[in-house]
């Protein structure tokens, strides 16, 4: 098992596109937060929760990019045929696929946490130097943890889609279009059906409740949003593993 984990880690950090996506995922929020905090008017009125909102708002794109990494971590093996070598070395396909998902989600959470700490830390230094009182309450700290969890869930979602689609371009397209198009259409349909607040029914969008700094509870709540998206990602992975057990590599 340890050798399998090492093998998957080598695969993950030796793919060039993963480095490119990771650099963008880290650089984008860092640059935006530096600009916003340095150019913000009335910085003395900013609070720690305000900074959390800025950081989380910019790192939503980072979370999506890390979801793409989670997808490509698997689909690239199918595209290049190396998945056959993996399954030949580990005949229990489920074990190989689960370890690959585990390595991806641990790497994603670690990277997201480090990026978050660096971005929030630099933003804090800039605002503190401009006389801001960056008091941070429990909601703010929970929202920061929620962002790391969101990154992990999107990584698992991309991985689950990759198990079923097996094509890099198609998987990335579905992952990106899910929030931009599919859930938008679903929202319109639900409203037409008489649902006043369709947000709790949309797994991707409801998960953003985890980033909320205003209140511990909402509609949907943080717990609902995280569990809903997590359940969808888990269902895709379980179904994808079952399908891969029965399909040719």
Asked whether the predicted pLDDT for residue 246 surpasses 90, the reply is no
Cis preceding-peptide flag for 220 (omega within 30 of 0): yes
Average pLDDT, the chain: 90
Asked whether the predicted pLDDT for residue 217 surpasses 60, the reply is no
Better-predicted residue by pLDDT, 229 or 85: 229
Arithmetic mean of pLDDT, 166-182: 91
Token pair of 160 as six digits: 């689950």
Helix then strand count (H, E) for the chain reads 10, 0
Give the Cα separation of 214 and 48 in Å (integer). 12
Task: Read off the pLDDT band of 38 (50, 70, 90).
Answer: very high
Better-predicted residue by pLDDT, 92 or 203: 203
Map 136-202 to HEC letters: CCHHHHHHHHHHHHHHHHHHHHHHHHHHHHCCHHHHHHHHHHHHHHHHHHHHHHHHHCCCCCCHHHC
Structural contact between residues 8 and 74, judged by C-beta atoms closer than 8 angstroms? no
Give the Cα separation of 220 and 28 in Å (integer). 28
Can you give the pTM of this predicted structure? 0.92
Asked whether the predicted pLDDT for residue 16 surpasses 80, the reply is yes
Give the Cα separation of 11 and 74 in Å (integer). 10
Write out the residue range of the structural domain in which residue 54 sits: 2-246
Asked whether the predicted pLDDT for residue 113 surpasses 90, the reply is yes
Cis preceding-peptide flag for 46 (omega within 30 of 0): no
pLDDT more than 90, % of the chain: 60
Give the Cα separation of 212 and 140 in Å (integer). 8
In the chain the first and final C-alpha atoms are separated, in Å, by: 21
For 146-157, the pLDDT digits (tens) are 999 999 999 999
The structural domain count of the chain equals 1
């Amino acid at each position: 098992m340890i050798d399998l984990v090492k093998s998957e880690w080598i695969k993950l950090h030796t793919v060039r596109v993963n480095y490119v996506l990771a650099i963008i995922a880290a650089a984008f929020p860092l640059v935006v937060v530096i600009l916003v905090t340095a150019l913000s008017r009335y910085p003395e009125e900013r609070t720690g929760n305000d900074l959390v909102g800025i950081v989380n708002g910019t790192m939503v794109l980072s979370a999506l990019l890390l979801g793409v990494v989670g997808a490509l971590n698997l689909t690239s093996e199918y595209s290049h045929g190396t998945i056959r070598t993996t399954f030949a070395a580990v005949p229990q396909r489920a074990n190989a696929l689960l370890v690959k998902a585990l390595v991806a989600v641990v790497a994603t959470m670690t990277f997201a946490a480090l990026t978050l700490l660096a971005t929030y830390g630099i933003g804090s230094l800039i605002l503190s130097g401009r006389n801001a009182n960056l008091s941070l309450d429990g909601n703010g700290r929970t929202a920061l943890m929620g962002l790391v969890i969101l990154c992990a869930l999107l990584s698992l979602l991309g991985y689950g889609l990759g198990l079923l689609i097996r094509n890099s371009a198609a998987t990335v397209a579905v992952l990106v279009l899910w929030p931009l198009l599919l859930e938008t259409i679903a929202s319109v349909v639900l409203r037409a059906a008489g649902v006043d607040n369709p947000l709790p029914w949309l797994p991707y969008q409801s998960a953003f409740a985890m980033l909320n700094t205003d209140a511990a509870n909402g509609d949907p709540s943080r717990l609902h949003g995280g569990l809903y998206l997590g359940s969808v990602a888990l269902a895709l992975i379980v179904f994808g593993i079952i399908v891969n057990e029965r399909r040719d590599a």
